[in-house]
A = this chain, B = another copy of it.
Amino acid sequence: MLVNSKEIVMKELLDRYIDQLHMKCTCPICKNDVLALSLNQVKPSYVTDKKKIAYNKAELVDKQKNTAMLVILAESAAIVSAGPGDNCVTKKREEQKS
């Protein structure tokens, strides 16, 4: 296996704090856009076995690192909310109505 452990950490943080991020839309498309924007801003941390993921997930307990990543998530959420992608479910629904 080959996985960027930051991907797992960010996904978990996003799910945990989704309500506080005040996103305009929380469809899977928008959530992935927020994750992509956020992950492009943090140093990747690829690992090749499951044990090392656990080690990286332990960082979630570190309040300081946690806050730094939450700031990145919040900034990305604001960008996506300001201009959701063309495939955003809410956006498509609104276009169909009009």
B-binding residues in A (CB < 8 A)? 1-2, 4, 7, 29, 32-33, 35-37, 39-40, 42-49, 85, 87
Contact = CB atoms under 8 A, between A and B. Distances in A.
**How many copies of this kind of chain does the complex include?**
2
Contacts of A42: 44
B7 A33 contact: no
Given A4-B39, A32-B2, A36-B2, A85 B48 contact: yes
Contacts of A47: 36
Contacts of A35: 2, 46
7 smallest CB-CB distances across A and B, nearest first, come from A36-B46, A39-B46, A2-B32, A32-B48, A44-B44, A36-B48, A40-B46
